[in-house]
Amino acid sequence: MTLPFDLNQRPRRLRRTATLRRMVNETRLSANDFMYPLFVCHGKNVSEPIGSMPGVYHLSVDNIIKQAENAFKLGVPSVLLFGLPKTKNARASEAYAEKGIVQQAVRAIKQNVPDLVVATDVCVCAYTDHGHCGVLRDGEVDNDPSAELLAKMAVSHAAAGADIVAPSAMMDGQVAAIRYALDDKGFKNTAIMGYSAKYASAFYGPFREAADSAPGKGDRKAYQMDPANAREALLETELDVEEGADIIMVKPALAYLDVLSLMRENFEQPLAAYNVSGEYSMVKAAAAKGWADERAVALEMLTSMRRAGADIIISYWAADAARWLAE
């Protein structure tokens, strides 16, 4: 059977060969796009697999240097550090300790891989005994003292040499509090990456095992955003930008690609997408069952984040993806 009319447009013409497809490809993914999250713990030569996140480890400082170096050699420009403290308490005291685990890791990485950009997560949920992202008063997270605590934590990271501090606690005014404290202490060049539109998402499940940061009681809905809201993402981001954020973010990424593209249209700052633990682990689990091709699915997901407008993709696949893209 042939069509009884001529087609003027045949988009398949440009899909015919690999070279034609390469020529008209609109979205290019490269190692440069990634930021690699790493979990640092106390001890020596520790490399403890995280059950809920195959391929991700709790690493002691000596091992984190190796991972950071490896990622940098693969072309990944930056890492994002999360810490597992020795002790947790109501004041989250290890969060801002000069010899805290993240502070040690930052120093060690900057000493050994000086050109690698080191970003740090600034949130106290892994450091408080109750697991919330700030200090509690009458069972509720008290905003302003929490913002101050985050500022203190950010200054300690900057003092250790962090290039970027990334507040993720969703406290009002956290970026302003951090910018003020950094400038006041002489860290004018430390950049801030705001977790501007961070949703109260079920996709963080596996991470809470990784960072041992699940709230003991309740949830985070009184400070993280409602997944149903997109306009509110613009409001949160406007505030972050006014307060001095250098980089803005949408988190999670995969179920929020519409929010990413909205942010791309409305802001000029570099835009980050956080490809979170749940997005990673569900592909790993499906791949382990033989139901998904990990590499193909992961690269398709990462490409979709770029297509939606992300400049930076924070991903547990960063090193693997950089390797796949180089093959």
| Nearest-angstrom CA–CA distance, 196 and 176 | 13
Spot the catalytic one: 88, 110, 198, 284.
198
- Only segment of 64-72, 117-125, 230-238, 290-298 that touches ligand PBG (CB under 6 A): 117-125
- 133 contributes a contact to ligand PBG by CB under 6 A: yes
Binds ligand PBG by CB under 6 A, chosen from 96, 187, 207, 317? 207
Question: Nearer to ligand PBG by C-beta: 81 or 155?
Answer: 81
Shortest-Cβ-distance residue relative to ligand PBG = 207
251 catalytic, yes or no?
yes
- Only segment of 84-92, 121-129, 145-153, 258-266 that touches ligand PBG (CB under 6 A): 121-129
| Nearest-angstrom CA–CA distance, 30 and 75 | 9
End-to-end alpha carbon distance in the chain? 42
Closest separation between CB of residue 306 and ligand PBG, Å? 18
Closest separation between CB of residue 210 and ligand PBG, Å? 7
- 123 contributes a contact to ligand PBG by CB under 6 A: yes
Per-residue binding letters, 34-73, with ligand PBG (x by CB under 6 A) = ----------------------------------------
Closest separation between CB of residue 177 and ligand PBG, Å? 16
Spot the catalytic one: 88, 110, 251, 284.
251
Closest separation between CB of residue 250 and ligand PBG, Å? 13
Question: Nearer to ligand PBG by C-beta: 62 or 142?
Answer: 142
Residues numbered 254-313 forming contacts with ligand PBG, rule: CB under 6 A: 276-277
- 204 contributes a contact to ligand PBG by CB under 6 A: yes
Which of 152, 153, 160, 240 shows the shortest CA–CA distance to 196?
240
217 catalytic, yes or no?
no
- 92 contributes a contact to ligand PBG by CB under 6 A: no
- Only segment of 26-34, 58-66, 102-110, 119-127 that touches ligand PBG (CB under 6 A): 119-127
Residue 222 CB burial class (10 angstroms; 0-12, 13-18, ≥19):
exposed
SS3 string, 230-262, reads: CHHHHHHHHHHHHHCCCEEEEECCHHHHHHHHH
Binds ligand PBG by CB under 6 A, chosen from 68, 85, 104, 121? 121
Binds ligand PBG by CB under 6 A, chosen from 52, 168, 281, 304? 168
Q: Write out the two tokens for 220.
A: 């985070």
Q: Write out the two tokens for 188.
A: 């004018």
Torsion of the alpha carbons at 151, 152, 157 and 162, rounded to the nearest 10: 30
Residue 172 in contact with residue 235, Cβ under 8 Å? no
Residue 244 CB burial class (10 angstroms; 0-12, 13-18, ≥19):
middle
Which of 182, 143, 166 shows the shortest CA–CA distance to 251?
166
Which of 149, 122, 129 shows the shortest CA–CA distance to 217?
129
Residue 57 in contact with residue 50, Cβ under 8 Å? yes
Q: What are the catalytic residues?
A: 198, 251
Q: Which residues bind ligand PBG (CB under 6 A)?
A: 121, 123, 125, 133, 168, 204, 207, 213, 220, 276-277
